[in-house]
Amino acid sequence: MSSAIDIDDLAEPQLNEAQRQALAWGETLAVDFSEEAIFAAARATTGLQDFGADDFRERLKVLREEWGGCDALTGLHRFVLQGYLIRYACNRLLIHDLLTRHPEIREQPILAPVIVVGLPRSGTTHLVNLLGADPRFQSMPLWESYEPVPRVGEALLANGVDPRYQRAADAWAQMQQTVPLLAAMHPLDPDHIHEELELMGPDFASYSFEWLAHSPRWRDHYYATDQRPHYEYMKDVLRILQWRRGGVPKRWILKCPQHLEQLPALKRTFPDATVIVTHRDPVAVLQSTMTMLGYNQRIGRKRVDLAALLDYWPERIEHLLRGCVRDRAKFDAAVSLDVMFHEFMADPMATLERVYARIGMPLDQATQTRLQAYLADHPRGKDGQVRYHLTQDFGVTATELRARFGFYLERYPIKIEVI
The pLDDT tens digits of the residues spanning 176-192 come to: 999 999 989 988 999 99
pLDDT for res 43: 98
DSSP 3-state of 373: helix
List pLDDT tens digits, range 121-174. 999 999 999 999 999 999 999 999 999 999 999 999 999 999 999 999 999 999
Q: What angle do CA 118, 124, 128 make, to 5 degrees?
A: 135
Domain enclosing residue 202, as ranges:
4-10+110-151+160-409
Q: How many domains does one find in the chain?
A: 1
pLDDT for res 2: 60
Q: In this structure, are residues 322 and 407 in contact, taking their beta carbons and an 8 Å threshold? A: yes
Q: In this structure, are residues 318 and 405 in contact, taking their beta carbons and an 8 Å threshold? A: yes
Query: In angstroms, rounded to a whole number, what is the distance separating the alpha carbons of residues 264 and 271?
Result: 10
Ramachandran class of 206: left when φ > 0, alpha when ψ lies in -120 to 50, beta otherwise: left
Q: Domain for residue 80, yes or no? A: no
Q: Domain for residue 71, yes or no? A: no
Average pLDDT over residues 239-260: 97
> How many CB atoms neighbour CB 61 within 10 A?
14
List pLDDT tens digits, range 92-132. 999 999 999 999 999 999 999 999 999 999 999 999 999 99
pLDDT of 260 > 50? The answer is: yes
Confidence tier at 381 by pLDDT (50, 70, 90): confident
Q: Domain for residue 256, yes or no? A: yes
Alpha carbon 19 to chain centroid, angstroms: 24
Which residue intervals of 102-247 are DSSP H helices? 124-131, 142-146, 163-178, 182-185, 216-223, 228-244
pLDDT of 1 > 60? The answer is: no
Q: Domain for residue 350, yes or no? A: yes
Q: Domain for residue 329, yes or no? A: yes
Query: In angstroms, rounded to a whole number, what is the distance separating the alpha carbons of residues 91 and 319?
Result: 30
List pLDDT tens digits, range 320-345. 999 999 999 999 999 999 999 999 99
CATH number of the domain to which 178 belongs = 3.40.50.300
pLDDT of 242 > 50? The answer is: yes
* Residue of 171, 164, 162 whose CA lies nearest to 148: 164
Q: Domain for residue 277, yes or no? A: yes
**Total-model pTM:** 0.96
Q: Domain for residue 81, yes or no? A: no
* Residue of 118, 125, 417 whose CA lies nearest to 284: 417
Query: In angstroms, rounded to a whole number, what is the distance separating the alpha carbons of residues 240 and 61?
Result: 27
List pLDDT tens digits, range 4-57. 999 999 999 999 999 999 999 999 999 999 999 999 999 999 999 999 999 999
3-state DSSP helix/strand/coil % of the chain, to nearest 5? 60, 10, 35
pLDDT of 363 > 50? The answer is: yes
**For residue 177, what are the contacts with CB-CB under 8 A and spacing of at least 6?**
18, 19, 22
High-pLDDT (> 90) share of the chain, %: 96
* Residue of 170, 402, 394, 163 whose CA lies nearest to 294: 394
Q: Domain for residue 146, yes or no? A: yes
